[in-house]
Amino acid sequence: MTAASMTTIAAIQMVSTADVAHNIASARRLVAQAASAGATLVSLPEYWPIMGVTEFDKVGCAEQPGDGPIQRCMAQAAREHGIWLIGGTLPLVSGDAAKVMNTTLVYNPDGEAVARYDKIHLFGFNQGREAYDEARTIVPGAQVGSFEAPFGRVGLSVCYDLRFPELYRAMGECALIVVPAAFTHTTGRAHWEVLLRARAIENQCYVLAAAQGGMHQNGRRTFGHSMLVDPWGEVKEVLAEGEGVALGVIDADFLAGVRQSLPALKHRKL
């Protein structure tokens, strides 16, 4: 382990509200906290700008690509702190006026938008009194997303995508996979950590998961547990509930060592 091989990264955990301005102020403060702690790559959680009282509230807040207060907030934060900022997700307009794209935008340290990923897999869950159907308000994406950071390729995914390992294989070899999320407390308690660790182990890379974590105005409880998992599947940092920052380190030497000692990626047949 050498200082040159180390990159500090951070997952922002929020308990977003239905008030976009309030959420923007919270995100600015938490990103600044992460940057002041040395993070050079920071991820926001899914739905960070709005967790509406109804699932349709986000449609009224949808922005055109490249314009709007949510995107300006992210661009300014990346530029001000000189960081790579992965913008969790925000609602962007779609071809259907009644639905949005649930979109991750990535900004470089100059505040330029350099990558976009529209969530492909839309969450559906029905367990009696607890039910969700993202397809009612979201148009699914169609393209796998990634970008090149100084330490290597970063694969982009969102929340429910975590259950579909073929998506991660399609990204190619990544140094880091990010999973901004708003996992429900029910499904998160059962599956969140084990799925994150599985994606890290099978792809032999770091996984950074920035989550919503608490009780929201709409009555939904999200699981939180934002975390960083290393390529051996070890949880290096975790924040259970409430807003805050989960800070950790990518070690390029450790990543290379795992792949050298157990070259599973090279052993793939399919």
Catalytic status, residue 61: no
pLDDT in tens, 217-267: 999 999 999 999 999 999 999 999 999 999 999 999 999 999 999 999 999
Catalytic status, residue 73: no
Compute CA distances 68 → 202, 219, 248, whole Å.
38, 28, 31
Q: Is residue 270 part of a domain?
A: no
| Burial of 72 (C-beta count, 10 Å sphere; 0-12/13-18/19+) | middle
Q: Is residue 266 part of a domain?
A: no
Structural domain boundaries enclosing 80 = 3-261
How many domains would you assign to the chain? 1
Q: Is residue 267 part of a domain?
A: no
Q: Is residue 269 part of a domain?
A: no
Q: 176, 149 in Cβ contact below 8 A? A: yes
Give the mean pLDDT of 81-101. 98
Q: How far apart are CA 173 and CA 153, in angstroms?
A: 7
The confidence band for 161, taking pLDDT boundaries of 50, 70 and 90, is: very high
Residues 159, 174, 237, 241: which is the catalytic one? 159
Residues 99, 119, 205, 241: which is the catalytic one? 119
Residues 46, 134, 237, 243: which is the catalytic one? 46
